[in-house]
Amino acid sequence: MRKCLFVFVLFFGLGALPNVYAYASPNQIFQLNQKVTTQKLQTLRVMISKLRDLVYNLRDINQLEEIGMPHQDVLLMKEALQQKISQMQTETVSYIREL
């Protein structure tokens, strides 16, 4: 019985919530959209920064072999990092397309 009551209140209660855009002025809607856009651009900046850091880490891995790390270990690390870079590139491009 409690479960049915909970589902009923949840289902019909959410429908009674006011729509923010229905009561907002055009200026308020503009400010809300501007905040969302600013947040999305900040997220994009962070993604690009992380991608740049991964590329610099790839350069650091090349120096590990010069220091004396076995070649096979360097290749494994480099391959894993290149896969991560490829994944981040794909995510970043899809996020840019979403914008």
Cα separation, 94 vs 60, whole angstroms? 28
Q: Is residue 13 over pLDDT 70?
A: no
pLDDT at 5 (0 to 100)? 45
24-75 residue pLDDT tens: 666 666 666 677 778 888 888 998 999 899 888 888 888 888 888 898 999 9
pLDDT in tens, 19-30: 555 566 666 666
Between residues 17 and 46, the one the model is more confident about: 46
* pLDDT value for 90: 92
**pTM (2 decimals)?**
0.60
- The pLDDT value recorded for residue 75 is 92
How big is the CA angle at 90 (ends 40 and 61), to the nearest 5 degrees? 110
Q: How many other CB atoms are there within 10 angstroms of residue 17's CB atom?
A: 7
Q: SS3 sequence, the chain?
A: CHHHHHHHHHHHHHHCCCCHHHHCCHHHHHHHHHHHHHHHHHHHHHHHHHHHHHHHHHHHHHHHHHHCCCHHHHHHHHHHHHHHHHHHHHHHHHHHHHC
